[in-house]
Copies of this chain bind each other. A is one copy, B any other.
Amino acid sequence: MFEIDILVSEVGPRDGLQSVDSIMPLAAKKAWIDAEARAGVREIEVGSFVPAKLLPQLADTAELVAHAKTIPGLTVAVLVPNARGAEAAIAAGADKLTLPLSVSETHSLANLRRTHDQVLNEAHVIADMIKALPPGQRPHFEGSLSTVFGCTLEGAIPDAQIARLAEGLMAAGCDEVGLSDTTGYANPAAVRHLIKLVRGVVGEKALTGIHLHNTRGLGLANVLAALEGGLTTLDSSLGGIGGCPFAPGASGNIVTEDLVFMLEAMGLRTGIDIDALLAVRSIVEKALPGEQLYGFLPDAGVPLGFTQAAPTKEVA
């Protein structure tokens, strides 16, 4: 595999599929993941270990992890709402666990039905669970600061509360924290501000990733601010599907295709072949009839004379 500058983390199979009503068949999910990995995507969040009763769309996450683990060079990420989910994720063999902590306590109660202290306690239990594993088998553990750019129920969240919770996640034993614009409230100035704030608390190396939505059309402008702030892992969703089912009006992840185009056009290597990535859309479209896919690049195509930042090849 070639060296890359930016890690694009595909969250469609988790954040996308949890927001659509129809259930994508397991075979189609596998085909999607296979095709994106072949296009050069190196990290995919394949699902969430939540009760199947709550999100039947993601009930096959364990099988998907097992399948994705057979793809060489792919980091298999999953979302875990609590310690029970983390136990299942570890048993399935996931490479990366993300525990969301909504910095808005109102949203945290609505989304995870837990107070901040309860979520931090789950983080502790998960970190201990991971530490008990042999060194080579420990998944990476991220605490994601969700609704960090503001909450549809509470509005803006005070800096001091965000800083305290970022610190709390690291103290609980997370390897790093991430910023998540659950509600699509971010703007470039806020992205710059929060990177500075949170890195000031946890250090540069413990904040490298951001999860942005395109709810108000600012998704890629926020990406640019995040790049300038030094972040190197960017979440996005093929076709822009997805959002947070518990934050009204928060639909619309940033579109992987448009994101990769912007990065490559700027000379930032993603390792992803744009033509191969665009071809993945038909797999998702066929498996989700009636669901709208987003994206500008798929309609407009690449500019005349466009070349990618660096040669890409299939993951060996």
Closest B residue to A213 by CB, please name it: B300
The reply on A190 being an interface residue by CB < 8 A is yes
Give Cα A220 to B267, complex, Å. Answer: 19
Q: Among the interface residues A187, A215, A252, A261, which one has the most CB atoms of the partner chain B within 10 A?
A: A187
A297 within 8 A of B: yes
Tell me, rounded to whole Å, the shortest Cβ–Cβ distance linking A242 to chain B.
Answer: 15
With a CB–CB cut-off of 8 A, which chain B residues contact A266? 187-189
A221 partner residues in chain B, CB cutoff 8 A: 220-221, 223-224, 262
CB contact between A224 and one of B183, B224, B267 (< 8 Å): that residue: B224
Contact A187 B217 (CB under 8 A): no
* CB < 8 Å neighbour of A255 from B183, B217, B225: B217
Which residues does chain B contribute within 8 Å of A218, judged by CB atoms?
220, 258, 261-262, 265, 296
Given A217-B296, A261-B216; A188-B150 close (CB under 8 Å): no
A188 & B305 in contact (Cβ 8 Å cutoff): no
Judge if A185 is at the interface, Cβ distance under 8 Å: yes
Identify which of B184, B267, B304 contacts A189 (C-beta below 8 A). Answer: B267
Q: Does A245 contact B (CB under 8 A)?
A: no
Smallest Cβ distance from A184 to chain B, in angstroms? Answer: 6
* Number of identical monomers bound together in the oligomeric complex: 2
A303 interface hit (Cβ, 8 Å): yes
A150 touches B305 (CB 8 A): yes
**Given A156-B305, A223-B221, A265-B190: A216 touches B150 (CB 8 Å cut-off):** no
Known contacts: A187-B262, A187-B266, A266-B187. The answer to whether A300 contacts B216 by CB under 8 A is yes
Given contacts A249-B300, A304-B151, contact A258 B217 (CB under 8 A): yes
A217 and B215 in contact (CB under 8 A), knowing A187-B262, A265-B189, A266-B189? no
- A230 contacts B by Cβ under 8 Å: no
| Complex partner residue of A216 from B185, B187, B296, CB under 8 angstroms | B296
Residue ID in chain B nearest A225 by CB atoms: B224
**Is A183 a contact of B152 with CB atoms below 8 Å?**
no
A155 at the interface (CB under 8 A from B): yes
Is A9 in the interface zone, CB < 8 Å from B? Answer: no
- Selected from B155, B185, B295, the residue in CB contact (under 8 A) with A217 is B295
Contact flag A301-B249 (CB < 8 Å), given A215-B296, A265-B190:
yes
Q: Which 10 A-B pairs have the closest CB atoms?
A: A155-B305, A217-B296, A187-B265, A189-B266, A220-B221, A217-B258, A185-B303, A155-B304, A221-B221, A221-B224
Given contacts A187-B262, A249-B301, 20 further A-B contacts (CB under 8 A): A150-B304, A155-B305, A184-B303, A187-B266, A188-B224, A190-B265, A214-B296, A216-B258, A216-B261, A216-B296, A216-B297, A216-B303, A217-B220, A217-B255, A217-B258, A217-B262, A217-B297, A218-B261, A221-B221, A221-B262
Show the binding face of A for B, using Cβ within 8 Å: 150-156, 183-185, 187-190, 214-218, 220-221, 223-225, 249, 252, 255, 258, 261-262, 265-267, 295-297, 300-301, 303-305
